[in-house]
Amino acid sequence: MVGILGLISPVFDDGDMAKRQLGKSKGNGKRTKLQGTVHGGRVGGASASALLFAVHSIHVEAVAGLVGRADILCGIFFMASIIAYHRKHFLLSILFGIVATLCKEVGITVLGYLVFCEALDCFAKSSAPREGTKQRERLLQFAGRRIAILILSILLMVIGRVKQNGGKLYKWTVMENHISLDPSWLRRVMTYAHTHGRYGLFLLFPAPLAFNHGYGCIEMRDTPSLVAVSMYSLLIGAIAQAVLRHDWAVLRCIAMAALPFIPASNVLFPVGTILAERLLYVPSIGFCLLCGLVVQRVVDSDLSPGNLPHTVVVGKKAKSTLVVFVVVFLSLATHTWRSTYAWESELSLYQWGLAAEPNSLTALNNLAYQYMHTSNVSKLR
């Protein structure tokens, strides 16, 4: 999975960064010196994304737990679909998207992402001043056919999945999704928004981790929480900034993180899991790519040609960025390594989960059963 992530990151840079960086130098000699550097920075951005994905602590449950195997398989074919699309294998990308959906329902969002990419590319190319009227019409027609095929594929898979479920949505119990059963529409919205903020916080700061964040862990809310307001403000601000700057690479990364999260967000329909770390496995791909893209651009913007041929001077900002990345990488690696020990046995897993979520009814029941099974009655008191 890490190797696949390293393959996809370079295609997210549309070349604007390279043009801006090359434009800083004067003369053909200096331009040649920086050209290889910018290309190397793009490779460095891919490496940063792959390294961050490899050690991110939010993946512990998906990798260590048996249920998470579906998320990992879905993530592999999710990435394969995007790589095939960017390498001009359109039908193959749809095939990989179907396979990702068969692994887990969230895989269908990769086709929605491809629709977004088609629309974005069509807008970027048609708005270019060098494009003539006939050329724009051909681009629109070609993109329209591809978007229609993608939407038709999505509809067919959705219809097939609904029919498989008997043509109606499953009604969850209070233990599975107590928020959906609350009679107040306002409380449901505020509480779901709070869970969205928790998901965003897990990506930025993956702690405390637990195998269960369900019933008893999320209280109903009548007002917006600080974490929800902060995360939504950060997301809206990033999207607005990218749109104003026509930064298509950032928009693609945000879309890759946001679209796979929609099925788990309880926005379109209630799901049986209120909050689970494994549900961030696929959305974290876009998040890691965005972080790698930021590292790449900060480093590239602080490079200047050296006095000797084929050399560059790394500025303080670039060095500081690399130091911060190394610190974050080592911190996440240590936290992930320590968290994996909780999955050595059922007893350690439930103890770890209860320490992180003291009100988790699932953790309390499972831990009590383990103590009864081992005749450790003193622990039940």
Q: What is the predicted pLDDT for the residue at 111?
A: 95
Q: pLDDT for 58-89, tens place per residue? A: 999 999 988 889 999 999 999 999 999 988 89
User: What is the arithmetic mean of pLDDT over 261-275?
Assistant: 88
pLDDT above 80 for 335: yes
Residue at 316: amino acid letter: K
Q: How far apart are CA 121 and CA 261, in angstroms?
A: 23
Show me where the domains of the chain are located: 2-343, 345-381
User: What is the arithmetic mean of pLDDT over 131-143?
Assistant: 74
Partners of residue 314 on adjacent β-strands: 303
User: What is the arithmetic mean of pLDDT over 25-29?
Assistant: 44
Q: Which residues contact 144 (CB under 8 A, 6 or more apart)?
A: none
Q: pLDDT for 83-122, tens place per residue? A: 999 888 999 999 999 999 999 999 999 999 999 999 988 8
- pTM of the predicted structure, to 2 decimals: 0.86
Q: pLDDT for 150-192, tens place per residue? A: 999 999 998 888 887 776 777 788 888 888 888 899 999 999 9
What is the separation of C-alpha 376 from the centre of its chain, rounded to a whole number of angstroms? 42
Asked if residues 211 and 353 have their Cβ atoms less than 8 Å apart, the reply is yes
Q: Which is higher by pLDDT, 229 or 5?
A: 229
Lowest mean pLDDT among 131-140, 249-258, 314-323: 131-140
Q: How far apart are CA 274 and CA 215, in angstroms?
A: 8
User: If pLDDT is split at 50, 70 and 90, which confidence band does 9 have?
Assistant: low
Q: What is the predicted pLDDT for the residue at 38?
A: 41
For β-strands 303-305 and 312-314, DSSP reports them as: antiparallel
User: What is the arithmetic mean of pLDDT over 136-152?
Assistant: 86
Closest listed residue to residue 73, CA positions, set 44, 38, 107: 107
**5 is written with which tokens?**
């992530």
Q: What is the predicted pLDDT for the residue at 338?
A: 92
Q: Which of 7-21, 25-39, 239-253 has the highest mean pLDDT?
A: 239-253
Q: What is the predicted pLDDT for the residue at 34?
A: 46
Q: How far apart are CA 59 and CA 281, in angstroms?
A: 6
Q: What angle do CA 366, 370, 374 make, to 5 degrees?
A: 170
Lowest mean pLDDT among 140-144, 152-156, 263-267: 140-144
pLDDT above 50 for 371: yes
Q: What is the predicted pLDDT for the residue at 47?
A: 86
Q: What is the mean pLDDT of the chain?
A: 83
User: What is the arithmetic mean of pLDDT over 375-381?
Assistant: 59
**179 is written with which tokens?**
């928020």
